[in-house]
Structure 1
Amino acid sequence: MSKESTASTSGPVDPVRRTPTVADVSPAERSRLTQCFQRGTQSLATNAEYAIEMFSGCVLGDPSNAVYLQSLLVALKKKYGSKKLGMLSVLWSAGYSGLKKLANSAQWHKILKQGLEILKTNPNNHACLLLMAEACGNLLFYDTQRTYLKSALDAAPADPEVNRQCAKFLADHGEFDQAIACWVRIAGVKGLAEESQHEISRLQVEKTIVAGHGLTGRSGASASVQQAGGAATGPVVEAVDRTATLKQAIQKNPADIESYLELADLLERDATVEEAEKMLERALAASGNDLKVREHLEDRQLRWSRHKVHIAEKRIESEDTSANRSVLERLRGGQLKQELEVYSARCARYPENITWKYEFALRLKAAGNYSEAIRHFQDVLQDARRKGAVALELGECFQKIKQYQLAMRNYVTAVESLTAREVELRKRALYRAGVLATGLEDNDAAQKYLSLLAGLDFGYRDVAQRLDKLGSLKDKGVSD
């Protein structure tokens, strides 16, 4: 059986670029699920079994809906209470080995279906909850991934793997304090002290960077203390000592890749990005061009590039000069070139990964290479969850190469496919369809799409003026 298209089956996903998706549910099916949910809610107090059946159907029908999932878990806990199995009982529970096999072959939807049956017999099976969270993460259902992870943590708050997975999710979503708390929670577990300390240090660096401190014009830790007029104490001393320890470890064992990576984190925080990048390049050389190390370096370089662009944009907000605009244009060009190279390489490494193809296609479009972008977007169309967004991108590409009928066909597909949750994309698709229909002198279609847009957002761009103009043409035709 072929693998399902996933966001991270074959390689890491850049957290800054990840976009959550919702399950592909038709309006009729969504109406049916709403009715089931209402029946489950009404019967929960008096008939938990019936509520569980109703909520289970909702979760299967829309696995991206966190409200459905939370209601099911509440109903299951109402039935079973807080009874928990031991780890061996969890691992040997019926169906768990089957879930592992499905995970190995990336059959994420099947994991959610079979995992639900396991949870209906034991909602505190944290191993099952973790696998279901992994499935949701690969399907980009982040709301339900969070719910499964929270339930796993509630069921097994001291379990190392549960805390690892929760910490990773929280860090990827910028919730660094909560991620650090997960590592603190298991720092006392035998054999995990060093790993926990390493991750806590790394997350503190990430938190500092995301907060906007220090990527440009940073002073080192010791300099910060001197400026404050005090002696180096506490965390600063620890950082300096840790840096020295890591340098000694590398000198003693030049193949100690983890020490290179941790030292690069510290250099990024306390020295400069340039020094951190050089350290990562040394790590890549020492690893023999290991793929994981290379992608770690690539991800950092992309993030640094984005940050430079962000700083340049902020500078223009306060001082809009031709020189600053020139700098911003140069940085954006460099960022696009770098992203094209990285995502092209990722597509070659992971040809089945739809996410990399989508990201690469977006960059090709941004670079004006519309024919190649079209080819890659068409590959992504096999992913039904992205149908509306991809159709919109295809329409814009076809319009750029003056294939207007193909562009219109894709805009119509986008309008029909985009859901209420994707309102900004839907507004853009309606506007593109209305404007192109005007250019093709199909005034009825133009009136239709622009009127739909006006119903959503009357202030969207120049939609009001366009509708007035179409109205004038129609009035003129009637008077003639």
Structure 2
Amino acid sequence: MQDSASFAKNASLTGSTTLASRFEQGCQLVEAGKLPEALNILAECAAGEPSRADYVDTWLGALLQNPAAAVEDRPAAFAALAQLSQEEHWHEVLQQGQLLLRDFPRRTPLLQTLATASASLGYFEAADCYLAAALEISAEQPDLLRQRAKLLAQLRRYDEALETWMHLERVSPDDAGAAGAIASLAIERSRRRHGLKRRVEDFWATAPKPRVRIQPKPPTDNVYGSLASPQKNIAAPVQRTQLQELELAVREFPSHADNYLQLTPLYLERGRDQEAERMLNRGRAATGNNPRVVALWEEVAVKVFEDRVAHARRDAAEHPSANSQTALAQILRERDKLETAVYTSRLQREPGNLALQYELGVRLKRSAKLHDAMKHLQLALGELTVRALAAFELGECHLQLNDVPQALRFYRMASETALTDQAAARKHALYQASVLALRMKLLKNAVRYLRELNRIDPKFRDAATLLQNAQATLSTAESKAASAGRRVSNSSPTV
């Protein structure tokens, strides 16, 4: 086995060509059955480019194939890794965790830690490799299933995420978040089929990559009720579509939740959103507020309001008048009221879900309830995936309250903690931080923020002009300070 020094030396390979050739060599050794030699090479590749999912996946596959040698447990090493993870030193967590995984390849908490570190650094596909490997070892572990389901949804792999949430619901029927997640993913999948934009709460998220269209399922065989399908002993059965069968089942057996869950996506695919909302509203009462029906009703109700808001915006733009502006303002107030109620309800069902704290905070901020919003946004800072977004919203709240130093602090936090797919949030945060730094006469800080923003996006708003003016002002101030220093030196008495 390699020691830490030699492993770090091998991990320092940075040339993509060198790593690619080493990776090919490692794959050939795996095919030849020479796993010990292959593992050394594949470990170099996974450590050299930890963002490469193919490197990580091949290495993990070889690790799980190789019979694990008996080694002594190393509690001190695992304690040090836990400390690094708590302090969020993710690069060190990856380095030390990969070393430990060589000797403990079937330890699922270690794989989970490596997945968390990879996701925190923006290596989402690589993080999924660690979680998939952990689930090969322990397929029924609820926390593993939950973590992977969330990651798959973040990767826009909605079908796999939906299957994972459904598996979690079978393994742990009382899981608080599964019902809402399944409903949300059903909505997202329906929207994707029609080329609609991904409905996400943080508008900073990148657009999803194009996916292959999912073929509609054949007529269902598991609709509850004997009237759901034609009886075999009738000579000329009435041919019904899947939608008609489900509508009939909902009317005949209104207390069975599964029929609502299957019928709703069919309504959405046909643009019958308001009918879907009314049906689910009736279904809430008929099923005794079944959690999945309630969660799906919330999603559809929010979607219906989104469409109403979009229509009101178009009307106000095409026919500007006091009436159209009043109607738009009224629709926005109604939307904010509904969404505030929805996320308040969800937080009651899932009090530990910090991402929901962010969503509720955003809605309260829209309603000008700034102090209430800030309480929820502060809690959301504990969730890595929304930390930067929550920090930005906190900066906005403090700015509206005219607390400029605190606003600058949170804008700076947002720029420093933004994940890879939150580039837009980072740019907006840097811009706002630079504007406030200029306002507070912190010229060096403003120049630093603007330089970073121009490095990322030279055409962002008027950042280039602001940087030029800030540099000129800073240069003038430094010249005056230097001149004043020389005058004081020349006027000093000689000892």
Same structural fold, with TM-score higher than 0.5 when normalized by the shorter chain: yes
Q: Does 1:43 align with 2:22?
A: yes
Q: Does 1:71 align with 2:55?
A: yes
Residue 15 of structure 1 is matched in structure 2 by none
Q: Where in structure 2 are the equivalents of 1:25-424 lying within 5 Å? A: 35=14, 40-47=19-26, 48-57=38-47, 65=51, 68-73=52-57, 109=116, 116=130, 119=133, 135-139=147-151, 142-143=154-155, 146=157, 149=160, 172=188, 175-176=192-193, 178=212, 180-181=214-215, 183=217, 193-195=220-222, 238-239=240-241, 242-243=243-244, 245-246=245-246, 248-262=248-262, 273-316=273-316, 319-322=318-321, 323-419=323-419, 421-424=421-424
CA distance in 1 between partners of 2:327 and 2:249 (Å): 40
- Inter-CA distance 168–453: structure 2 relative to 1 (3 Å threshold): closer
Using a 3 Å threshold, how does the CA distance of structure 1 residues 96 and 255 change in structure 2: closer, same or farther? Answer: farther
Task: Write the deviation string for residues 35-93 of structure 1: whole angstroms up to 9, x where unpaired.
Answer: 4987653312223433432455579xx6xx5xx22334456779999xxxxxxxxxxxx
Amino acid in the other structure paired with 2:311: I
Rate the CA distance shift 1:96–1:431 in 2: closer, same or farther, 3 A.
closer
Distance 1:376 1:351 in 2: 11
Please tell me the residue identity of whatever aligns with 2:299. D
Amino acid at match of 1:135: Q
1:336-385: CA deviations, max 9, x gaps?
22111111121122110011111111112222222122211111112234
Would you say 1:457 and 2:469 are equivalent positions?
A: no
Please tell me whether the aligned partners of residues 149 and 166 of structure 1 are also in contact (alpha carbons under 8 angstroms): no
SS at match of 1:416: helix
Letter in 2 for 1:136: R
1:167 and 1:291 map into 2 onto residues whose CA distance is 10
Flag the 1:77–1:332 CA change in 2: closer, same or farther, 3 A: same
Could you tell me how far apart the structure 2 residues matched to 1:352 and 1:125 are? 27
| Alpha-carbon distance in structure 2 between the residues aligned to 1:443 and 1:99 | 49
- Go from structure 1 to structure 2 and tell me whether the alpha carbon gap of 1:272 and 1:448 turns closer, same or farther (over 3 Å shift): closer
Could you say if the C-alpha distance between residues 274 and 183 of structure 1 is closer, same or farther in structure 2, counting changes exceeding 3 Å?
closer
Q: Compare relative contact order (CA 8 Å, sep 6+) and give the higher one, 1 or 2.
A: 1
SS of corresponding position for 2:24: coil
The aligned residue for residue 7 of structure 1 is none
Kept in 2, the 8 Å contact 1:388–1:415? The answer is yes
| Cα distance, 1:128 vs structure 2 | 8.7
| Equivalent residues of 1:183, 1:196 under 8 A apart | no
Counterpart secondary structure, 2:289? coil
CA shift for structure 1 position 283: 1.2
**1:320–1:265 Cα change, 3 Å:** same
Contact 2:370 2:397 in 1 (8 A): yes
Number of aligned residue pairs:
368
Q: Determine if contact 1:119/1:128 at 8 Å carries over to the other structure.
A: no
Q: Which runs of 5+ in 1 are unaligned?
A: 1-28, 82-94, 154-160, 188-192, 199-236
* Structure 1 residues 246 and 405: alpha-carbon distance in aligned structure 2, compared to 1, 3 A threshold: closer
CA RMSD of aligned residues (A): 5.2
Give distance in 2, aligned partners of 1:421 and 1:250: 41
Counterpart residue identity of residue 279, structure 2: M
Amino acid at match of 1:428: H
- CA distance in 2 between counterparts of 1:305 and 1:114 reads 34
The alignment's TM-score, normalised by the length of structure 1, stands at 0.60
How far, CA to CA, are the matches of 2:216 and 2:143 in structure 1?
18
Residues in 2 aligned to 1:119 and 1:437: alpha-carbon distance in whole angstroms: 47
Q: What's the secondary structure of 1:45's corresponding residue?
A: helix
Please report how far the alpha carbon of residue 114 of structure 1 lies from its aligned counterpart in structure 2 after TM superposition: 12
Separation in 1, partners of 2:325, 2:55:
51
Contact kept in structure 2, 1:447 and 1:470, CA below 8 Å: yes
3-state SS of paired residue (2:352): coil
